[in-house]
Amino acid sequence: ISLPTMASTILNPLAFAKSTKRACELCAQPAHIECSECKVTFWCCPEHEALDRQGIHWRICEFVGPLRRPFSGTGSQHDREIRQQQQQQRKEHLMQIALVEATKLFNQNKFALAVPAAMQALKFGQDAYGANSLELLPPYILMGIASIGTGDLRQGEDYLSQANWIVVKNPQCSPVMRAQLLRALGRLYQAKGNGALALKMLADDVYHVSLSTGPDSVQAAGGYFLMGAVFKANGLADSALASYAKTAAIWLAQLKASTAGRGELLDAAQEAEAFQHLSSIAEDPGCAPKAQALAQLGLALLFLGAGDTPAASNWLSIAKSTAPADVAAESAAVEALM
């Protein structure tokens, strides 16, 4: 994606009253750089400006002005109630934009950019729902796993502790949301080198997802994929290959259904996750031919849905040339959809 060019203004702190405080979006330190477009977003340094702009501000700049600028009018009680409803809707909308962007960036392994996007989702969520709301679980988890991705395990663990506290405070938390936290903890323990505990968290993740959407749903694919990575890191090749084959099969089934008009289309975050899983499996020379072929067929349909017919045809050709006999039916089904 080509990001739009956005201008900045360097502020002179002496030109403003002492009571006027401008805080950096990322670290809350005094800021002296202002976004020239929305004029309500500030940063303390060019580095934080670049991270925030590339991570999320380019997506929300046009929306934050009406939310952050003070309301100058008085109006009737009815007018004020309408404005409050509009502000609440803006906060919820911006939270969802930031969550989707953070998830996409994370699945693209752009961890440093995913952190500010998740941070903005958390801010909008806190304003919209309150400090201990269950709606804050996804942004805390994203901040945790993105921090782990950057190598900051301590910060990642802190964010996941906050996520765990929200689950404790909200016993009505759904199995799928509990699974998200368990998957994040699996990533944490994997990064710490504790394979046994990582596998326990990930197995519990798949179990909780299965309670809600079934063991073959796309919501379970990430758990299987991470289990494969942990098995592989611990020298358990057969278990790793089985986990990768399961992951590829889940995505392929969903992509076949959606391409044929029999299933829901993947959203942008799911597409990024599917591409991460399938490309990793398809291009891993250590994977079994069946898992690779299933992943290659999945990539063919993924590119077909994105309108990239040449890439889709290329992946189909690769799959057909290398697929074992027990994948022939899947190859034929994908070819028929193309």
For 219-278, how does the pLDDT look when each residue is reduced to its tens digit (9 = 90+)?
Answer: 999 999 999 999 999 999 999 999 999 999 999 999 999 999 988 888 888 998 999 999
Mean pLDDT of all residues in the chain? 92
Question: What's the pLDDT score for residue 322?
Answer: 85
The pTM is what?
A: 0.86
Of all helices (H) and strands (E), which one includes residue 10?
strand 8-10
Sign of torsion over alpha carbons 288, 294, 297, 303: negative
Reported as a pLDDT band with limits 50, 70 and 90, residue 72 is low
CB of 79 closer than 8 Å to CB of 37: no
Partners of 8 in the beta sheet?
35
For 107-165, how does the pLDDT look when each residue is reduced to its tens digit (9 = 90+)?
Answer: 889 999 999 999 999 999 999 999 889 999 999 999 999 999 999 999 999 999 999 99
Q: What is the mean predicted confidence (pLDDT) over 302-313?
A: 95
For 150-198, how does the pLDDT look when each residue is reduced to its tens digit (9 = 90+)?
Answer: 999 999 999 999 999 999 999 999 999 999 999 999 999 999 999 999 9
Of all helices (H) and strands (E), which one includes residue 157?
helix 153-169
Long-range Cβ contacts of 235-243 (<8 Å, 24+ apart): 237/286, 241/287, 241/288, 241/291
Reported as a pLDDT band with limits 50, 70 and 90, residue 41 is very high
Question: What's the pLDDT score for residue 66?
Answer: 86
How many other CB atoms are there within 10 angstroms of residue 130's CB atom?
Answer: 11
299's tokens: 């990539």
